[in-house]
Structure 1
């Protein structure tokens, strides 16, 4: 199926610094949100194993709530880096035909399945896969791929080897998972399908846009969110992380002001058409 584009002007939302600007309405292990008219609830049993979604990830769903955003009914979707399953839950609630939740973290599968069932959704439409993107071989290509890649730079001083690091930190200056998405998207996405991405300004947005545009993808910014860099979890190593980010900025691979950055809700449409089976 072809994902129709949104033609409305790009919106920009500035989230106030600190907790008051959060898109969440509850504590950081359980929260409720509304997606396409359905009230949904998300829980994380152990935030050290599976990170409770941050505003960075939730911003993409907020952008997809607007008028003119792509239809999701009946799509075969890949939730790439599923984590707690927030995108899987939202897509199934919006009528997706099938969702594959892929995550390298083994704890993600159980958490995603639990959240799907807790919201009264059909878990038989969900397939959970524990694998890195590099080693994942899809049975078929997807109508839609949705992802919020980790975007903070790696440093041995704050390496944790837990769900927090899996969700937030990546090697190659925070670009490793973005690199993998760019390398694999043609094998994952069916002609006419869409890649929906919460893209951090800390991870070289122009490079992603330039590369996919050169490959024929149509690019659209649905909404831009300004928020705090998620340094609270790394308070002890804040200066180290900011130093690494400043190096990325000096190299032209990051944009931020003080401790504020932006997340762009992006839609990349692959050329061509595919008939839904």
Structure 2
């Protein structure tokens, strides 16, 4: 199905990046999970690209969560523009750490921010929240790992676009320790988005090189990889 995603104000909502689109591509692969009838959480919804894709693929319900207040209206607009049933969509504006859904989801899908934070290029707006994270770019990855058992139903699936700039082995190791099985659906190579930070390119590369030297980032020059990862939660504690 051809889908159309629009961003009314690019100063408030990040238009889908190659990193985010890579996970959409992976969902067309042979090993991708079934989406028909699922109750899904789109974590860090942004423009609503994953919410639209999930609803188009037959998800029963989708909750679109984002810390950026502008995300909700844009997600609704894109769902409506694609002729999908907006009554199957719920939008929530909240930090992940403060989100208490009162239910668990069959599927959680996310493309966390993955660039390291530095005060020199911090802007404290919706665009920045979609790209830059504290803790060496890992803040949202860490929050997902910490919250996943509360969000995901037993037997449920976590789908994640994971940047090699933010310590993929650590995420796999920590979720495996919780009993999750991991599958790499696809790996995509792309450019670090330095053009968006041209004025602060040296500062960002310096931080990334520090991460690389510590074994927490993998990249070659200005090229890095995004891994479309699928984590499966066991049905019960006895499966761990």
Which of 130, 134, 156 is the aligned partner of 2:97?
134
Task: Measure how far apart 1:67 and its partner are.
Answer: 2.3
Equivalent pair of 1:47/1:163 in contact (CA under 8 Å): no
Which of 132, 138, 151 is the aligned partner of 1:175?
138
Which of 159, 172, 182 is the aligned partner of 2:122?
159
Equivalent pair of 1:88/1:112 in contact (CA under 8 Å): yes
**How far apart, CA to CA, are the structure 2 residues paired with 1:235 and 1:216?**
42
> In the TM superposition, what whole-angstrom CA distance separates every residue of 1:83-102 from its partner, at most 9, and x where no partner exists?
00000000000000000000
> In the TM superposition, what whole-angstrom CA distance separates every residue of 1:26-55 from its partner, at most 9, and x where no partner exists?
xxxxxxxxxxxx110000011110000100
> In the TM superposition, what whole-angstrom CA distance separates every residue of 1:184-240 from its partner, at most 9, and x where no partner exists?
000000000000000000000000001111111010000000000011111110010
**How far apart, CA to CA, are the structure 1 residues paired with 2:182 and 2:122?**
34
Alignment of 1:176-195 (within 5 A): 176-195=139-158
Number of equivalenced pairs? 236
Task: Measure how far apart 1:163 and its partner are.
Answer: 2.1
> In the TM superposition, what whole-angstrom CA distance separates every residue of 1:220-266 from its partner, at most 9, and x where no partner exists?
00000000001111111001000000011111110000000000000
| 1:241 paired residue number | 204
TM-score by length of 1: 0.84
1:115 paired with 2:78, answer yes
Moved segments of 4+, more than 4 Å: none
**How far apart, CA to CA, are the structure 2 residues paired with 1:196 and 1:202?**
18
| 2:7 paired residue number | 44
Task: Measure how far apart 1:66 and its partner are.
Answer: 1.4
Query: What's the secondary structure of 2:220's corresponding residue?
Result: coil
Equivalent pair of 2:44/2:65 in contact (CA under 8 Å): yes
Alignment of 1:57-76 (within 5 A): 57-76=20-39
Which of 157, 164, 170 is the aligned partner of 1:201?
164
Task: Measure how far apart 1:134 and its partner are.
Answer: 0.2
**How far apart, CA to CA, are the structure 2 residues paired with 1:61 and 1:217?**
22
TM-score by length of 2: 0.97
Equivalent pair of 2:162/2:228 in contact (CA under 8 Å): yes
Query: What's the secondary structure of 1:220's corresponding residue?
Result: strand
**How far apart, CA to CA, are the structure 1 residues paired with 2:172 and 2:56?**
29
1:250 paired with 2:213, answer yes
For structure 1, the residue ranges without an aligned partner over 5 or more in a row are 1-37
Task: Measure how far apart 1:174 and its partner are.
Answer: 0.5
